[in-house]
Amino acid sequence: MTGHLWEWLLLAATWAIRLGALVIVPFRRSPTATQSWLLLFFAAPWVALALYLAIGRPVHPRWRRQRVAQLGPVIERAIVRIECAARPPELLPAQASAAALIRGIGRMPLLEGNAVDFLTDYDDTIDRLVKDIDGARDQVHLLFYIFSTDGTGDRIMSALVRAAARGVTCRLLIDAVGSRQWAHAIVARLRPRGIEVHRILPIRVLGRTTRIDLRNHRKIVVIDGRIGYTGSQNVIDAEHGFGWPNHELMVRVRGPVVGELQAVFVADWYLETETELAEAVLYPAQEEVGTSLAQVLPSGPDLEAGGIDELFVALIHSARERVVISTPYFVPSEPLFQALQVAVLRGAEVHLLLSGRSDHPLVHLAQRSYYAELLRAGAAIHLYQPGFLHANHMSIDGTVAVVGSSNIDMRSFALNSEISLVLYDQEAAPLFERSKHGACSRALSSCRMSGNAAAWP
């Protein structure tokens, strides 16, 4: 009798899991993801329950969510310092819509008077960064997903040590998973020299545990509150990994928008240390040093609503002439994939500049599964051959450009904290079309264009 009772209880629990999944799983989830989860729940309910509890929702543990809840006033105080430079410029309708969406997601205003340099040479980017750190007077802030101790990492750390010796305040954030191989050596070298170093979301078994899949993928540098860097490049040698040279896109910015990069760093610093960086020197009075309109969009599981995928989809839907996207990993969400198809049907050119090589073979196979349908729709797919194209960029009609750390995949859309710089001007936005010497224009001439499914290399 007891054995039968346990069988009935197990059966009841199994069906309770399945029925509960029907209620809970579809909440704020795409139809495709919902279908996949529900199939797993009905096929293997106990396995599905364990996986769902571990990774089913892109949310941090309770202690982290409580800290995020305290972040609002920190961000608002930073924005008050930044917003004094904001004036409502005249924008095209698509630009105004994008600027409003970014403000709604990430709170940052659109700012005028910025100077933007596109950096496409890997070693030259490191040279310029080292030079700017050597010229720092007040503070140097760096945040990187990958920070290594190889030749490139040694150059940056040596520059930080020199800056600290001059009395410059230096702070470094590195992701605990992305930089796990080198984190101990970095801390051991820099902390004794007065440089503050913290690992982002360190993996712990007890106490304040963290999820290994929720990561900070941002790349941010702010020097004296006046010079900023962001983009796709990590602090590691170009030919790491499979031995292919990485080709990247970074931007060096000056002007009021540097304050927004600073605000994102300050927010991430608070989340890791519970210390608010509020010194006035962090947000110096900014003069207009250029003509670019710019806005920063932080995205990730810490934000209350929206993300970078909503911006990408909205921009693609606004395109009337041309969409150009460069990304190392192309595994789009269903809304983004449909937006590309609709853009082609409206008569817009759609160009995808993707890497012909990959450091993640399974992701590369998943990426290739989208090619045939896009090619049939009329999109052009350019496969970059000389190395691993790691640059992230989107250009819409030559009037809006997005440069940053976010890939076109579900990790960047749902799991990673990312950073994007959005530009609204006809000099900066059409990067692929105008850059004669950059990696993007070289890439187009170095790619094999897939005109049909049979043309895949």
Q: What is the pLDDT of residue 442?
A: 46
Assess whether 150 and 245 both reside in one domain. yes
Residue 404 has pLDDT above 50, yes or no: yes
Assess whether 155 and 258 both reside in one domain. yes
The whole domain housing 408 covers 308-455
Size of the chain in residues: 457
> What are the tens digits of pLDDT across the range 207-229?
777 778 889 999 999 999 999 99
Assess whether 272 and 313 both reside in one domain. no
Residue 454 has pLDDT above 60, yes or no: no
The half-sphere exposure of 181 on its side-chain side, counting CA atoms within 13 A, is 9
> What are the tens digits of pLDDT across the range 61-70?
777 788 888 8
Weakest-pLDDT range from 44-53, 266-275, 357-366: 44-53
Q: What is the pLDDT of residue 446?
A: 41
Quick one: DSSP state of residue 234?
-
Domain end residue (candidates: 292, 320, 344):
292
Q: What is the pLDDT of residue 416?
A: 92
Q: Per the domain annotation, does 364 fall within a domain?
A: yes
Q: What is the pLDDT of residue 38?
A: 61
Q: Per the domain annotation, does 224 fall within a domain?
A: yes
Assess whether 174 and 117 both reside in one domain. yes
Assess whether 383 and 266 both reside in one domain. no
Domain end residue (candidates: 260, 292, 324):
292
Q: Please tell me the pTM assigned to this model.
A: 0.87
CATH code at 155?
Answer: 3.30.870.10
Q: What is the pLDDT of residue 68?
A: 83
Q: Per the domain annotation, does 302 fall within a domain?
A: no
Assess whether 41 and 68 both reside in one domain. no
Helix H or strand E encompassing 423: strand 416-423
Q: Per the domain annotation, does 96 fall within a domain?
A: no
Q: Per the domain annotation, does 3 fall within a domain?
A: no
When the pLDDT of each residue in the chain is averaged and rounded to a whole number, the result is 84
> What are the tens digits of pLDDT across the range 164-222?
999 999 999 999 999 999 999 999 999 999 999 999 999 887 777 777 888 999 999 99
CA distance 160 to 310: 37
Assess whether 331 and 207 both reside in one domain. no
> Which residue did the predictor score with more confidence, 122 or 206?
122
> Which residue did the predictor score with more confidence, 382 or 59?
382
Count how many domains the chain has: 3
Q: Per the domain annotation, does 126 fall within a domain?
A: yes
Q: What is the pLDDT of residue 135?
A: 98
CA distance 176 to 153: 16
Assess whether 313 and 257 both reside in one domain. no
Please give, one letter per residue, the 3-state secondary structure of 155-215.
HHHHHHHHHHHCCCEEEEEEECCCCCCCHHHHHHHHHHHCCEEEEECCCCCCCCCCCCCCE
